[in-house]
Chains A and B, each alone.
Chain A
Amino acid sequence: MSQKTDSSEFAPGFLWQIGLLTIMVLGLVLFSDKLSQSERSSSVQRSPMVLFPWALAGGHTLENGMKAFSGKPPEFAAVKDQAAALAGLLISTVICPTVFFLEWRRRRISGVPTSERPPLRTSSVFYGFCGALTLYVAGAILPIATISEATRHSLRNAQAVASNKDAVIDEMNSIDTDLSQYYILPKELGGGGRSYEGYKLPRGMEKTEEGTYVVTPKRNEVNIRAESVRHVSCWIEMKVDSAGRMSGWTYGGNFR
């Protein structure tokens, strides 16, 4: 006996149901996000997708990161968040896929045409809801993965540039201290005797892992230009006056 397996389960009526329920689910997700945002006093913006529990866990990790920044100890996740993570996981990976796949199989095997089924029975609506949610979770994962990879890449790039910029500024600060000391020290002790003229960068300071530095000393003023080693188009320029004050900071490339 051969089973009929090619009957059209996704007939226009079914697709209409799925479409309508998808809109309902999206509305529910957006509404629940608004609701939870109004209750939230957290410093970290959390993802609206409770159906994807890693977003909740990630939000909690970031919250603890911000607490550590201010010297506060990390906290356990609130019971509300733990319950939301577990509920999201149960809905998206247990309840909805089970209802959807088992009912889909039953319908597929029974071979009853879609037109012969009453469209608005409670069980049909629940099946449609679970189907919409399962397909939403399965379908949304590709754009989510793509967007999060792009975000990750751009965050890491931006952080690499910012770290390099911080390191270069820090080294320019050290040069400023060295310059001030040179200006103050008498010539007998290797200083400039109230002048920057003749100043040379200490050995190893012309080129570091972070940048290359060029100083142009005049009597009462020095121009410093730093070029990044890690990000070749990035540079910083500034001036140091006779009191050792730094001013006229100008940034180029991605340091802007």
Chain B
Amino acid sequence: MEKDTVTIEIKQEVSITLLWIVAGVVVVSLAFLLTPQSTELWPSINAAGIAAGLYVIALLIFVLRKPLGTKLRLWIGIAALASMGLMAFTWVRAQEQTHWQAETVMRIRGIIGRGVMRYDMPPALLKTLDEFYKQGPTKKETLAAIFSRLHNGATAGSNIHKPSWDSDSLKVIVKTMEPGRIELVSQETYVKGRDPQFMNHNGQIGMIQETFILTEKGISHVSEN
């Protein structure tokens, strides 16, 4: 059987262009694909971006060699480097800015969480304190008895928070219930507080936690984490 041979002629300039493109695509793609995967896209595109930057510099050195005029080479080189510098600046700023925005969103979530706790917890204790002193000088009921009566027989460990909406997952737990002392604790389940090592009431570590303590002298607030 006769073998057919196909010969493709490629002009020198086309082959140089193809060579450059293939080299660039391989280098940039390898840098992108060999970067370990993470939940962020940044490591991959940063590695690929650095490879692409080095590639463009090499390309410019190749393109702007003699016999092109010095003035032209200088102008195009400066313009290209300025453009690349500006791009690198925008790139880095974009990375910093988006991380700042994502962190700000979580900080806002923390502020909302603390705000809801601080808004939700004191009224239950103030109402108990109010009832306690409305009894006059002779106290028939202790703080604990009043609190339990006002909150459907709540005891230590009960959750006294009534959900305000379907996905309202806030819990206000009665931590301590003694005749003259009631401690309420509330915590976030996924929002980090100040101390990453803090042991939360439910056994989690490092989450936001606020505590309010009621005694006959009034309410004290401890922002635990």
Contact = CB atoms under 8 A, between A and B. Distances in A.
Interface residues of A, number: 71
A98 B28 contact: no
Contact of B63 (A102, A144, A159): A102
Given A5-B67, A65-B102, A141-B90, A173 B95 contact: no
Given A61-B40, A173-B119, A185-B218, A93 B52 contact: yes
A53 B49 contact: yes
Given A97-B59, A138-B83, A57 B68 contact: no
15 contacts: A5-B67, A5-B68, A64-B40, A65-B101, A69-B108, A75-B39, A77-B40, A94-B24, A148-B93, A166-B111, A169-B115, A170-B111, A177-B122, A185-B217, A244-B123
A145 B80 CA distance: 16
Interface of A: 3, 5-6, 52-62, 64-66, 68-69, 71, 74-77, 81-82, 85-86, 89-90, 93-95, 97-99, 101-106, 108-109, 137-138, 141-142, 144-145, 148-149, 152, 155-156, 159, 163, 166, 169-170, 173-174, 177, 180-181, 184-186, 189, 191, 244
Interface string B161-188: 0000000000000000000000000000
Contacts of A189: 216-218
Interface in B94-115: 94-95, 97-109, 111, 114-115
B194 interface: no
Contacts of B67: 3, 5, 109
Chain B interface, DSSP helix/strand/loop, else mixed: helix
A95 B23 CA distance: 10
Which of the four size classes fits the interface of chain B? 35 or more
Contacts of A101: 59-60, 63
B223 to A, nearest CB: 10
